[in-house]
A and B are shown apart, each in its own frame.
Chain A
Amino acid sequence: MSQVADTVEATAETGEEFDGLRLRGVTKDFATFTAVDDLDLDVPRGSFFALLGPSGCGKTTTLRMVAGLETPTSGTITLAGQDITHDRPYRRPVNTVFQSYALFPHLDVFENVAFGLRRRRQRDVKGPVNEMLELVELTSQARKKPAQLSGGQQQRVALARALINKPEVLLLDEPLGALDLKLRRAMQLELKRIQTEVGLTFVHVTHDQEEAMTMADTVAVMNKGVIEQLGAPDQLYENPESTFVANFLGQSNLIEGRVRSRAADVVTVDMHGIDVSVPAARAHADGELGWVGIRPEKVLIGDEGEALDAPGNTIPGGVVTDVSFYGVSTQYLVRMPWGQELQVFEQNTGRRRLFRHGDRVELSWRPEYAFLLDHHQDASAGAQQGAEE
């Protein structure tokens, strides 16, 4: 998975040979704020790329600039080596699936899908349209008007209408946002299948971290007009480089700590009087202070003095303050001696007992799962937004 990110960096240096979508120094200023701030981005050809971020982070503006519906204040956008920054939208080999679908209400499904081909004066319209309708399983609905279709069907018409033009890049602006959860999951798989089948470059904008992680090869997490971190989903999740990514993508426990020593491969941090170690490759803080991060499912919980399978970091003195039983897992809140409550997810494998409110416990985790973040960053950055959406 991390290969994709590596290729991104490799091709970024070679310059002209890059045949995907490239943004360089792209900035978009609106009257009162900067939506996108000096953005550099490379989307390799044929990849499924997700721009993930909370509402107002600039992801949709970025997409609209690629589509030509907004003009960047500065910077360049190139596609397969060609500068398209100022090309009119109808001159770009780029198509968009709009959040509202924007299907033409006066045209039937067939004509909606045929729209792009007809505008480009293509001879054979019927064949490709029928093929496309088959791909999205709407053949029987061809003569219906968009208003007669369900949300999921409309979404597939919007997709077919864009895909049929075989664009260099297909832009998807929160295309699943209007669907209910079950349908959304089904469409995620469907989109992924279609992308693999047609092999086009997809750029998918979403605020749903689960959606981004399940579908995309590469995810760019955007916040306040800049990209916080870019990489394969597992890489972003396992090794976040900022508190925003740590909180927006899943949940994290962030504990204040003071760096005691830095060796070649390991950083030792004094965390409220307890020494914990963090692999050097996962330490993203230069200063003396930092946030030690650990995902709740990586934290093990046990009785005081119980030997847990996590050599290295053991933190005694916890008290269970909240227990939420989910069936497959249990979520604990544990108050630590320094007053902070940490989250622990434990799978209900049946091999371990359930802890109760007020139980005295010990927490521990394997050092290789911990990460260290810059203390200047807000420990709660991205947490609210991630939880809300």
Chain B
Amino acid sequence: MIGRWLRERIVLILGLVVLVYTFVPIAIVVAMSFNIPPSRNVYAFDRFTLDNWAHPCIGAEGMCESLGVSIQIGLLATLGATVLGTLAAFALVRHDFVGRSSTNLLIFLPMASPEIVMGSSLLALFVSAGFAGQLGFWTILVAHIMFCLSFVVVTVRARLAGMDDTLEQAAMDLYATPTETFWRVTFPLVFPGILGAALLSFSLSFDDFIVTNLNAGQTTTFPMYVWGVEGKGVPMAVNVVGTLMFLVSIVIVVGGELNNRRRARALA
């Protein structure tokens, strides 16, 4: 009896176990954001508080500064990588030039190479180019744009390649100049790809530790801050930031999904 009951539900049970496995760390982060630890070095739940949420910057020295740096770098890296990557994707899909296929291949390399290799070679590059004393915000930004670029190119290229180019011919046929054709037809149709690429870039940049750490000089980003305070005891406010990041991603994902469903219903 129990054997059969189990057989019929084994997939469901395993699925639930995997879900729990995935979400336990996140649940702990959320729980810890409402916690007053018994002592600074003990990472355990003791008493409930809202103080961490009310004043996240107090008691976590340098955290909010590092968060600011991370957000700034994230936004700028996203902007840079999205613009450059979109242009590169258009060039790769729409124009035939000498070296196109090798460029297509090379664009994959940063995604495939280990971060530690990329980070150390970037460091070597900066140092040999004479920027050894100036490592910091700008070198991090350059590094982030570099590794986000490949992801943007790949995402936007996929979207562009799937687009019917008779749409652009139709626009031209209907009196749209090349500029109007781009903004009225091409861009709106490629935009979802560009948006996806931008979101991906931001999270890659915000999250990065290895490449950043090697090229940061005296600058501290949020992941570097967390890594740095780990030995001295992590302030509970870090969990507030973690929870917020999680909430933002959830809102974006759920929002996107709802939007898709609404569209699918409209089409049905």
- Chain A residues with CB under 8 Å of chain B are 67-69, 88-90, 94-96, 98, 100, 102-106, 115-116, 119-120, 145, 147-148, 161-162, 165
Prevailing SS type, chain B contact patch: helix
9 CB contacts below 8 A, A to B, read: A88-B172, A89-B172, A98-B166, A100-B166, A102-B167, A104-B185, A106-B189, A115-B174, A119-B177
Task: Please determine whether B177 and A100 come into contact, CB atoms closer than 8 angstroms.
Answer: no
Closest to B192 in A: A106
Task: Kindly name the residue among A69, A90, A95, A145 whose own CB sees the greatest number of chain B CB atoms within 10 A.
Answer: A90
Task: Please determine whether B172 and A104 come into contact, CB atoms closer than 8 angstroms.
Answer: no
Q: Which residues does chain A contribute within 8 Å of B174, judged by CB atoms?
A: 90, 95, 115-116, 119, 161-162, 165
Cα-based distance from A69 to B184 in the complex (angstroms): 19
Is B11 an interface residue when CB atoms closer than 8 A count as contact? no
Task: Please determine whether B167 and A120 come into contact, CB atoms closer than 8 angstroms.
Answer: no
User: Given A89-B173, A119-B176, A106 and B188 touching (CB < 8 A)?
Assistant: yes
Task: Please determine whether B170 and A104 come into contact, CB atoms closer than 8 angstroms.
Answer: yes
Is B180 an interface residue when CB atoms closer than 8 A count as contact? yes
Cα-based distance from A116 to B185 in the complex (angstroms): 13
Task: Please determine whether B173 and A120 come into contact, CB atoms closer than 8 angstroms.
Answer: no
Task: Please determine whether B169 and A98 come into contact, CB atoms closer than 8 angstroms.
Answer: yes
Task: Please determine whether B164 and A100 come into contact, CB atoms closer than 8 angstroms.
Answer: yes
Distance (Å) between the CB of B88 and the closest chain A CB?
Answer: 24
Q: Interface size class for chain B?
A: 10 to 19
Q: Which residues does chain B contribute within 8 Å of A104, judged by CB atoms?
A: 167, 170-171, 185
Task: Please determine whether B267 and A147 come into contact, CB atoms closer than 8 angstroms.
Answer: yes
Task: Please determine whether B267 and A148 come into contact, CB atoms closer than 8 angstroms.
Answer: yes
- In the A-B complex, the 4 residue pairs with the smallest Cβ-Cβ separation, listed nearest first, are A102-B170, A119-B175, A116-B174, A102-B166
Is B266 an interface residue when CB atoms closer than 8 A count as contact? yes
Distance (Å) between the CB of B206 and the closest chain A CB?
Answer: 30
Q: Which residues does chain A contribute within 8 Å of B176, judged by CB atoms?
A: 90, 115, 119
Task: Please determine whether A69 and B169 come into contact, CB atoms closer than 8 angstroms.
Answer: yes
Task: Please determine whether B170 and A98 come into contact, CB atoms closer than 8 angstroms.
Answer: yes
Task: Please determine whether B170 and A96 come into contact, CB atoms closer than 8 angstroms.
Answer: yes
Contact residues of B between 167 and 205, Cβ < 8 Å to A: 167, 169-177, 180, 184-185, 188-189
Task: Please determine whether B189 and A105 come into contact, CB atoms closer than 8 angstroms.
Answer: yes
Distance (Å) between the CB of B265 and the closest chain A CB?
Answer: 11
Q: Which residues does chain B contribute within 8 Å of A95, judged by CB atoms?
A: 173-174
Distance (Å) between the CB of A63 and the closest chain B CB?
Answer: 11
Cα-based distance from A60 to B167 in the complex (angstroms): 17
Cα-based distance from A105 to B169 in the complex (angstroms): 14
Task: Please determine whether A90 and B170 come into contact, CB atoms closer than 8 angstroms.
Answer: no
Cα-based distance from A69 to B168 in the complex (angstroms): 11
Task: Please determine whether A120 and B166 come into contact, CB atoms closer than 8 angstroms.
Answer: no
Contact residues of B between 76 and 108, Cβ < 8 Å to A: none
